[in-house]
Amino acid sequence: MNQDFAKIRPEPLLDRKVVQAPPKWHLMLAGMSVGVVLGICGCALFYLSGFIPPLAPRTSSISANASDMRPTEEADSEILIEPKLELEFFTALSDWEVPVNTIPVKISQQSGINLGIDKPFTAYLLQTGAFIQKELADTEANRLQAMGINAQVKKQDLPGRILFLVQSGPYQDSTTLNETERLLRENRVPSMRLSIQ
């Protein structure tokens, strides 16, 4: 039962072809080009990171005149101090000050009423959506009514299509308008103000 498997020769499955190695100078050029590209990218990233060390401080220039020449001992003992950045904002601000009369002006109730009459509040609508399908518009209106906002769906005919607009209002004063907008923002419902003409 013992068989000698070492004497059995496997049959050749495929004809073996000798593959030539690629030329070495192609690999050398490819390696050099990859190295150059990586080096340039590395330098660019290092430059963009902002961690470049500052240049050495410049020493005072020595003039060519003999009278300006100092002994080297005095030059070595002198420490270079970089000038500090001085901002002139607060000194320049006083140039732009305007003197104002500090006496308060008293406003009577009649003038306050006149101010209110001169600037009437314009009525606004809040539109929270425009839908092609009426079912989607009704769903949005029901969601707004669940939040406590009185919303209605209006049909708008446009050339080539019909839109269903979900609107709430009209709001006659700014407090209810601002309160409704705040409620919509808290519930992440986008809205748009429309003035009534």
Does 127 or 110 have the greater pLDDT score?
127
pTM of the model: 0.39
> What was the pLDDT predicted at 172?
84
> What was the pLDDT predicted at 37?
97
Cα-based angle 65, 69, 73 (whole degrees, multiple of 5): 170
Average pLDDT, the chain: 75
> Which domains are present in the chain?
128-195 (3.30.70)
Q: Mean per-residue pLDDT for 89-102?
A: 64
For the stretch 22-74, pLDDT in tens is 778 888 999 999 999 999 999 999 888 887 776 665 544 444 444 455 555 55
| Residues 180, 168 contacting (CB under 8 angstroms) | yes
- Within 10 angstroms of residue 181's Cβ, the number of other Cβ atoms is 16
- Tell me the two tokens of residue 49: 């990171």
Binning pLDDT at 50, 70 and 90, where does residue 115 land? low
| Residues 172, 162 contacting (CB under 8 angstroms) | no
- Tell me the two tokens of residue 180: 């409704």
Residue 117 has pLDDT above 70, yes or no: no
Residue 140 has pLDDT above 70, yes or no: yes
> What was the pLDDT predicted at 6?
63
Binning pLDDT at 50, 70 and 90, where does residue 193 land? confident
Residue 85 has pLDDT above 50, yes or no: yes
Binning pLDDT at 50, 70 and 90, where does residue 78 land? low
Strand order in the sheet with 124-131: 151-158, 161-171, 124-131, 192-195
